């Protein structure tokens, strides 16, 4: 089978396409013939050796997969050979075959394509966990989403509208913000032209936002936190813009607000039943046509490095997907 391999930490251009032996399942594993694997920002970090965990070299990046079950280990009962599935691995998805733990493999909805299924779990799982479990977002509250046209950002816009919130989308270009409007945003902020703090305040009549969803960090976090409402919740989701910000700790005191960490991967491992419940609710929303992940582009497996490069260069809206023949 072919796989995109990271043989040394570095940029996407260092990745290579190679023939590898097919994986063999352990007792609790499922071998999936991969049809699609979406690109997520952590993939751009893991190949540079900058992510929370560092797999042994060489490895394939890619975590959000869909495909067909090829083989199952002796203790696997939830899926069988030939089933169409989607699932989650920490890495290994940019390959024609991957071994997945049985608890991370789920039947694919018949009306959901392989690329759509692969675009779903990490982005929507993260944003739903953030808004529902961590922020406890309520109907009528105002949510600001930073990086709002990105994978987790656009999912947050769409899910928050379904939860009855007023959504302010913030992003770097008018084109990206137009997509956010199509996905339900009530108001927009172009933070490459407008002052983030002042615009949030203006759009909330001086009150500030009840909840802020921040997957970008860096220079954006402090002005956004300064525009958080009394008793607001500030969701720390990621640092796509680069630096992990250092925050003056008087700000949460003055606002009586909470700074809330969001880590979907750990949540799904530590609380699998709640995570499964969230996944089922998301599937139901998809079936009822309440949510519809935006797929900007498909890339063949050999072009996975280009897909990663496009993400690092802020060229991606919604999701991009690597597909296998």
120: which residues sit within 8 A by CB, 6+ positions away?
Answer: 64, 86, 112, 282, 286, 293
Does position 239 bind ligand NAP by CB under 6 A?
Answer: yes
- Candidates 80-88, 137-145, 222-230, 256-264: pick the segment binding ligand NAP (CB under 6 A): 256-264
Answer for which of 85, 144, 237, 304 binds ligand NAP (CB under 6 A) is 237
Nearest distance from C-beta of residue 152 to ligand NAP, angstroms: 4
Q: For the segment 69-128, give every residue that binds ligand NAP (CB under 6 A).
A: 122, 126
238 touches ligand NAP by CB under 6 A: yes
- Give residue number: closest CB to ligand NAP: 150
Beta carbon of residue 93, minimum distance to ligand NAP (angstroms, whole number): 14
Inter-CA distances, 308 with 30, 95, 257, Å: 26, 15, 36
Q: Across-strand partners of 65? A: 37, 87
Torsion angle of C-alpha atoms 145, 146, 152, 154, degrees rounded to 10: 60
Cα distance between residue 227 and residue 295, in whole Å? 31
Measure the CA–CA gap between 89 and 128, rounded to whole angstroms. 19
Binding window for ligand NAP (CB under 6 A); candidates: 9-17, 57-65, 70-78, 142-150:
142-150
Task: Please select the residue that binds ligand NAP; options are 264, 278, 293, 308, rule is CB under 6 A.
Answer: 264
CB of 297 to ligand NAP, least distance (A): 12
CA 126 to mean position of chain CA atoms: 6
Q: Is 295 in the site for ligand NAP (CB under 6 A)?
A: no
Q: How many H helices and E strands in the chain?
A: 11, 15
Closer to ligand NAP by Cβ: residue 268 or 323 = 268
* Cα-based distances in Å from 254 to 137, 228, 259, 317: 21, 10, 13, 35
Which 2-61 residues touch ligand NAP, going by CB under 6 A? 40-42
Does 212 bind ligand NAP (CB under 6 A)? Our answer is no
* Residue (79 or 237) nearer to ligand NAP, CB: 237
Treating both helix axes as pointing N-terminal to C-terminal, what angle do 272-287 and 121-128 enclose, rounded to 10 degrees?
110
State the nearest-atom distance from the C-beta of 190 to ligand NAP, in Å: 9
- Residue of 316, 321, 322, 324 interacting with ligand NAP (CB under 6 A): 316
Q: Pick one of 242, 256, 272, 300: the residue that binds ligand NAP (CB under 6 A).
A: 242
User: Any contact of residue 215 with ligand NAP (CB under 6 A)?
Assistant: yes
- CA dist., res. 321 & res. 300, Å (int): 9
Gap between the terminal Cα atoms of the chain:
12
Q: Are 122 and 66 in contact (CB under 8 A)?
A: no
Q: Write out the residues near ligand NAP by the rule CB under 6 A.
A: 40-42, 122, 126, 147, 149-153, 171-172, 176, 215-216, 237-242, 262-265, 311, 314, 316
């Amino acid at each position: 089978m072919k796989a995109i391999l990271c043989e040394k930490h570095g940029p996407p251009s260092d990745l290579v396409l190679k023939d590898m032996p097919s994986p063999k399942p352990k007792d609790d594993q499922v071998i999936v013939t991969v049809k699609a694997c979406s690109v997520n920002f952590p993939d751009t970090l893991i190949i540079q050796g900058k992510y929370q965990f560092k797999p042994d070299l060489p490895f394939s990046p890619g975590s959000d997969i869909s495909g067909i079950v090829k083989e199952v280990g002796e203790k696997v009962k939830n899926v069988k050979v030939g089933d169409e599935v989607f699932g989650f691995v920490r890495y290994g998805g940019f390959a024609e075959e991957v071994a997945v733990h049985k608890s991370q493999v789920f039947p694919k909805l018949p009306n959901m394509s392989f690329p759509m299924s692969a675009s779903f779990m990490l982005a929507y799982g993260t944003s739903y966990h953030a808004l529902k479990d961590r922020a406890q977002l309520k109907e009528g509250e105002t949510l600001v989403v930073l990086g709002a046209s990105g994978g987790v950002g656009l999912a947050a816009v769409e899910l928050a509208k379904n939860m009855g919130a007023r959504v302010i989308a913030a992003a770097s270009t008018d084109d990206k913000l137009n997509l956010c409007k199509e996905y339900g945003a009530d108001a927009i902020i172009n933070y490459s032209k407008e002052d983030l703090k002042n615009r949030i305040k203006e759009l909330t009549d001086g009150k500030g936002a009840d909840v802020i969803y921040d997957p970008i960090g860096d220079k954006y976090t402090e002005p956004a936190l300064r525009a958080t409402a009394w008793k607001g919740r500030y969701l720390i989701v990621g640092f796509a813009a680069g630096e992990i910000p250092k925050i003056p700790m008087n700000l949460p005191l003055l606002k009586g607000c909470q700074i809330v960490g969001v880590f979907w991967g750990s949540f799904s491992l530590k609380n699998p039943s709640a995570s499964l419940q969230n996944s089922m609710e998301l599937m139901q929303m998809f079936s009822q046509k309440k949510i519809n992940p935006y797929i900007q582009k498909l890339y063949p497996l050999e072009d996975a490095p280009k897909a990663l490069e496009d993400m690092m260069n802020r060229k991606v809206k919604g999701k991009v997907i690597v597909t296998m023949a």
